[in-house]
Protein backbone atom coordinates (compact mmCIF):
# COMPACT_ATOMS: atom_id res chain seq x y z
CA UNK A 1 0.00 0.00 0.00
CA UNK A 2 1.36 3.34 -0.98
CA UNK A 3 1.65 6.27 1.38
CA UNK A 4 -1.04 8.24 -0.47
CA UNK A 5 -3.50 5.32 -0.17
CA UNK A 6 -2.70 5.00 3.52
CA UNK A 7 -3.32 8.72 4.02
CA UNK A 8 -6.64 8.53 2.15
CA UNK A 9 -7.68 5.44 4.13
CA UNK A 10 -6.65 7.12 7.38
CA UNK A 11 -8.65 10.25 6.49
CA UNK A 12 -11.71 8.13 5.65
CA UNK A 13 -11.44 6.22 8.94
CA UNK A 14 -11.06 9.51 10.84
CA UNK A 15 -14.10 10.98 9.05
CA UNK A 16 -16.23 7.91 9.81
CA UNK A 17 -15.12 7.90 13.45
CA UNK A 18 -15.87 11.62 13.71
CA UNK A 19 -19.36 11.09 12.20
CA UNK A 20 -20.00 8.30 14.70
CA UNK A 21 -18.96 10.49 17.63
CA UNK A 22 -21.12 13.39 16.40
CA UNK A 23 -24.08 11.06 15.80
CA UNK A 24 -23.80 9.55 19.29
CA UNK A 25 -23.60 13.03 20.82
CA UNK A 26 -26.70 14.15 18.92
CA UNK A 27 -28.59 11.03 19.97
CA UNK A 28 -27.67 11.71 23.59
CA UNK A 29 -28.94 15.29 23.28
CA UNK A 30 -32.19 14.11 21.68
CA UNK A 31 -32.70 11.68 24.55
CA UNK A 32 -31.97 14.43 27.08
CA UNK A 33 -34.76 16.51 25.50
CA UNK A 34 -37.13 13.52 25.66
CA UNK A 35 -36.20 12.86 29.29
CA UNK A 36 -36.73 16.51 30.21
CA UNK A 37 -40.13 16.42 28.50
CA UNK A 38 -41.05 13.21 30.35
CA UNK A 39 -40.23 14.91 33.66
CA UNK A 40 -42.55 17.80 32.81
CA UNK A 41 -45.19 15.36 31.66
CA UNK A 42 -45.20 13.51 34.99
CA UNK A 43 -45.80 16.72 36.93
CA UNK A 44 -48.44 17.92 34.47
CA UNK A 45 -50.27 14.62 34.91
CA UNK A 46 -50.10 14.89 38.70
CA UNK A 47 -51.45 18.42 38.59
CA UNK A 48 -54.09 17.34 36.07
CA UNK A 49 -55.29 14.78 38.63
CA UNK A 50 -55.42 17.35 41.46
CA UNK A 51 -57.35 20.09 39.67
CA UNK A 52 -60.78 18.38 39.64
CA UNK A 53 -60.48 17.97 43.41
CA UNK A 54 -59.78 21.69 43.80
CA UNK A 55 -62.72 22.61 41.57
CA UNK A 56 -65.03 20.30 43.54
CA UNK A 57 -63.99 21.80 46.87
CA UNK A 58 -64.61 25.29 45.49
CA UNK A 59 -68.00 24.27 44.07
CA UNK A 60 -69.16 23.42 47.59
CA UNK A 61 -69.27 27.16 48.15
CA UNK A 62 -72.23 28.04 45.93
CA UNK A 63 -71.37 31.68 45.56
CA UNK A 64 -67.80 30.92 44.43
CA UNK A 65 -66.85 32.35 41.05
CA UNK A 66 -68.26 29.84 38.56
CA UNK A 67 -66.65 31.63 35.62
CA UNK A 68 -63.22 31.15 37.16
CA UNK A 69 -63.88 27.46 37.77
CA UNK A 70 -65.08 27.05 34.19
CA UNK A 71 -61.92 28.73 32.85
CA UNK A 72 -59.72 26.43 34.92
CA UNK A 73 -61.62 23.34 33.74
CA UNK A 74 -61.35 24.39 30.08
CA UNK A 75 -57.67 25.24 30.42
CA UNK A 76 -57.05 21.88 32.11
CA UNK A 77 -58.59 20.12 29.10
CA UNK A 78 -56.42 22.13 26.70
CA UNK A 79 -53.26 21.31 28.66
CA UNK A 80 -54.14 17.61 28.64
CA UNK A 81 -54.79 17.64 24.91
CA UNK A 82 -51.54 19.48 24.09
CA UNK A 83 -49.60 17.22 26.47
CA UNK A 84 -50.92 14.07 24.79
CA UNK A 85 -50.07 15.42 21.32
CA UNK A 86 -46.64 16.63 22.52
CA UNK A 87 -47.58 20.00 21.01
CA UNK A 88 -45.16 22.23 22.89
CA UNK A 89 -46.39 25.60 21.51
CA UNK A 90 -50.04 24.73 22.27
CA UNK A 91 -49.01 23.51 25.71
CA UNK A 92 -47.33 26.85 26.41
CA UNK A 93 -50.53 28.72 25.54
CA UNK A 94 -52.77 26.35 27.53
CA UNK A 95 -50.41 26.42 30.50
CA UNK A 96 -50.58 30.21 30.54
CA UNK A 97 -54.37 30.07 30.67
CA UNK A 98 -54.35 27.43 33.39
CA UNK A 99 -51.80 29.22 35.56
CA UNK A 100 -53.80 32.45 35.30
CA UNK A 101 -56.97 30.57 36.26
CA UNK A 102 -55.29 28.97 39.26
CA UNK A 103 -53.95 32.33 40.33
CA UNK A 104 -57.47 33.71 40.13
CA UNK A 105 -58.90 30.82 42.17
CA UNK A 106 -56.34 31.37 44.90
CA UNK A 107 -56.83 35.15 44.82
CA UNK A 108 -60.63 34.92 44.86
CA UNK A 109 -60.47 32.38 47.70
CA UNK A 110 -59.24 35.22 49.90
CA UNK A 111 -62.82 36.55 49.90
CA UNK A 112 -64.18 33.22 51.21
CA UNK A 113 -62.92 32.66 54.77
CA UNK A 114 -64.78 29.34 55.05
CA UNK A 115 -63.07 28.07 51.93
CA UNK A 116 -59.65 29.26 53.09
CA UNK A 117 -60.25 27.44 56.37
CA UNK A 118 -61.24 24.23 54.57
CA UNK A 119 -58.56 21.62 55.23
CA UNK A 120 -58.97 19.98 51.81
CA UNK A 121 -58.67 23.33 50.04
CA UNK A 122 -55.51 24.18 51.95
CA UNK A 123 -53.96 20.77 51.21
CA UNK A 124 -54.82 21.05 47.52
CA UNK A 125 -53.50 24.60 47.34
CA UNK A 126 -50.21 23.49 48.92
CA UNK A 127 -49.96 20.44 46.65
CA UNK A 128 -50.76 22.37 43.47
CA UNK A 129 -48.35 25.16 44.41
CA UNK A 130 -45.60 22.57 44.94
CA UNK A 131 -46.41 20.99 41.57
CA UNK A 132 -46.32 24.44 39.91
CA UNK A 133 -42.87 25.05 41.34
CA UNK A 134 -41.73 21.64 40.12
CA UNK A 135 -43.13 22.32 36.65
CA UNK A 136 -41.27 25.64 36.54
CA UNK A 137 -38.01 23.89 37.46
CA UNK A 138 -38.55 21.14 34.89
CA UNK A 139 -39.54 23.69 32.24
CA UNK A 140 -36.19 25.43 32.77
CA UNK A 141 -34.35 22.12 32.41
CA UNK A 142 -36.37 21.18 29.31
CA UNK A 143 -35.62 24.53 27.64
CA UNK A 144 -31.93 24.21 28.47
CA UNK A 145 -31.88 20.69 26.96
CA UNK A 146 -33.66 21.95 23.86
CA UNK A 147 -31.28 24.88 23.54
CA UNK A 148 -28.18 22.68 23.76
CA UNK A 149 -29.72 20.28 21.21
CA UNK A 150 -30.69 23.04 18.78
CA UNK A 151 -27.33 24.80 19.00
CA UNK A 152 -25.49 21.56 18.38
CA UNK A 153 -27.46 20.62 15.27
CA UNK A 154 -26.93 24.15 13.88
CA UNK A 155 -23.16 24.25 14.43
CA UNK A 156 -20.72 23.42 11.71
CA UNK A 157 -19.54 20.70 11.09
CA UNK A 158 -22.10 18.84 13.24
CA UNK A 159 -24.92 20.24 11.12
CA UNK A 160 -23.73 18.10 8.22
CA UNK A 161 -24.33 14.91 10.21
CA UNK A 162 -27.53 16.31 11.76
CA UNK A 163 -29.09 17.25 8.42
CA UNK A 164 -27.97 14.04 6.75
CA UNK A 165 -29.61 11.99 9.51
CA UNK A 166 -32.74 14.18 9.81
CA UNK A 167 -32.19 15.65 13.26
CA UNK A 168 -34.71 18.46 13.70
CA UNK A 169 -34.93 21.49 15.97
CA UNK A 170 -37.09 21.07 19.06
CA UNK A 171 -39.43 23.86 20.18
CA UNK A 172 -38.85 25.74 23.42
CA UNK A 173 -41.64 25.69 25.98
CA UNK A 174 -42.66 29.35 26.20
CA UNK A 175 -45.66 30.94 27.81
CA UNK A 176 -47.95 33.71 26.72
CA UNK A 177 -47.12 37.19 27.89
CA UNK A 178 -50.48 37.27 29.72
CA UNK A 179 -49.17 34.65 32.15
CA UNK A 180 -46.24 36.87 33.04
CA UNK A 181 -48.49 39.82 33.89
CA UNK A 182 -49.58 40.55 37.45
CA UNK A 183 -53.06 39.46 38.46
CA UNK A 184 -55.47 42.41 38.37
CA UNK A 185 -56.89 42.17 41.89
CA UNK A 186 -59.19 45.16 41.37
CA UNK A 187 -60.87 43.39 38.47
CA UNK A 188 -61.15 40.16 40.47
CA UNK A 189 -62.86 41.79 43.42
CA UNK A 190 -64.74 44.45 41.48
CA UNK A 191 -63.23 47.35 43.43
Tell me the pLDDT tens digit for each residue of 27-60: 999 999 999 999 998 998 998 888 888 888 887 7
CA distance 23 to 136: 31
pLDDT over 90 percentage in the chain: 33
- Give the pLDDT confidence score for residue 176 in this predicted structure: 64
CA distance 6 to 156: 27
Q: 80-115: string of b/e by CB count within 10 Å (b at 16+)?
A: bebbeeeebeebbbbbbbbbbbbbbbbbbbeebeeb
Arithmetic mean of pLDDT, 63-92: 85
Arithmetic mean of pLDDT, 152-164: 91
The band of 22, judged by pLDDT with boundaries at 50, 70 and 90, is very high
pLDDT, greater one: 174 or 144 = 144
Arithmetic mean of pLDDT, 65-94: 86
pLDDT over 70 percentage in the chain: 90
- Give the pLDDT confidence score for residue 185 in this predicted structure: 44
The band of 190, judged by pLDDT with boundaries at 50, 70 and 90, is very low
**What is the CATH T-level fold of the domain 3-189, as seen in this structure?**
de novo design (two linked rop proteins) (1.20.1440)
- Give the pLDDT confidence score for residue 63 in this predicted structure: 64
- pTM for this model (two decimals): 0.72
- Give the pLDDT confidence score for residue 33 in this predicted structure: 94
Res. 191: pLDDT tops 80:
no
What mean pLDDT is reported for the chain? 84
Arithmetic mean of pLDDT, 104-113: 80
pLDDT, greater one: 61 or 85 = 85
* Sequence spans of domains, the chain: 3-189
Amino acid sequence: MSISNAIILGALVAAVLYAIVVYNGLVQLRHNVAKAWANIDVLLKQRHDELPKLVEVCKQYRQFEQETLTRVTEARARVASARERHDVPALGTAEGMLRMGLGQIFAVAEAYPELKANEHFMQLQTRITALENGIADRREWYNESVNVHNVRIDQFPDLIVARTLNFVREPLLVFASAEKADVDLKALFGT
